[in-house]
A and B are shown apart, each in its own frame.
Chain A
């Protein structure tokens, strides 16, 4: 159901972007990148905050499922963040004539957030004990998740910028553009939710498979079932001990 809603939403968003939204007077057709770049940035930043909230839920309940959800939300936000950086660079090149402007606080702050979260996975997988790994990852997710809105606020308060301010009291987006933007935002949010649900399903299946193979006595897990070691008689409850 979620997948169908995503496909329909993405299709509708593309139709609105290219056939309904008017061409912007100053930038022309180039402004169409806005309907992709801004929703990607918003969804990615919200995903990072969501990861932090799930980290809080994990620390409160000690339920490993929250840790898994937090991990998947951050993982997916990193992918969407990468999309934001690339589409933003393309837009900047077309609009400003530069791939990147170091004096622009919005760009640099987003890069800082991305670099911060780029350390999440190495930190997580550097810890072998699963309990500690989940706990430390949750603490990181909460701290970094709190940094995201603070960072956003600091950038909003900065006085000099090239980057446009689209959302807010001074927003001057015409109604057709606003509708197209909101549909695009919903479509990207749906895509995020769908990919997160697939990733979660895949991770849960792998965890279940690993635990089942351990129950059956294959100590190395399912990845080594083809190896000669796994073919030796196991000490599983289902297979009897060789008779002496």
Chain B
């Protein structure tokens, strides 16, 4: 496929459709992967938020218990 001859003129059969298809497929794969990563990141963010809320809730209940014990 690769020959020593290289030219700046366009041969008759350019095959630009195939080239476009190959590059679009490649960028689509990368894009899909990044989208999956984004979804996973959103899930992690939600879990961190839930974990923090839960920890704060536990902290508040512990404080209340402590107050009741001192009273």
Contacts and interface: CB of A to CB of B under 8 A. Distances in A.
B6 A177 contact: yes
Nearest to A165: B2
B8 interface: yes
A118 interface: no
Given A34-B1, A225-B51, A216 B58 contact: yes
Contacts of B25: 83, 86-87, 90
A218 interface: yes
Interface in A95-110: 95
Interface stretch (A63-71, A119-127, A141-149, A231-239): A231-239
Interface in A135-172: 164, 166, 172
Interface in B11-65: 11-16, 18-19, 21-23, 25-26, 29-30, 33, 37, 40-41, 44, 47-48, 50-51, 54-55, 58-59, 61-62, 65
A209 interface: yes
B38 to A, nearest CB: 10
B70 interface: no
Nearest to A242: B65
B30 to A, nearest CB: 7
Given A90-B18, A199-B37, A36 B26 contact: yes
A23 B9 contact: yes
A24 B10 CA distance: 8
B1 A95 contact: yes
Contacts of B59: 238
A28 to B, nearest CB: 4
B2 A83 contact: no
Given A222-B50, A225-B51, A239-B61, A29 B10 contact: yes
A166 B26 CA distance: 21
Contacts of B15: 27-30, 94-95
A93 interface: yes
B51 to A, nearest CB: 6
Contact of B2 (A24, A36, A176): A24
Contact of B22 (A37, A226, A236): A37
Given A28-B14, A205-B44, A230-B54, A83 B62 contact: no
Given A24-B7, A87-B22, A93-B18, 5 more contacts: A29-B14, A29-B15, A33-B19, A90-B18, A213-B51
12 contacts: A23-B8, A33-B22, A33-B23, A34-B2, A86-B26, A87-B25, A90-B22, A91-B18, A91-B22, A94-B18, A198-B37, A238-B59
Interface of B: 1-16, 18-19, 21-23, 25-26, 29-30, 33, 37, 40-41, 44, 47-48, 50-51, 54-55, 58-59, 61-62, 65
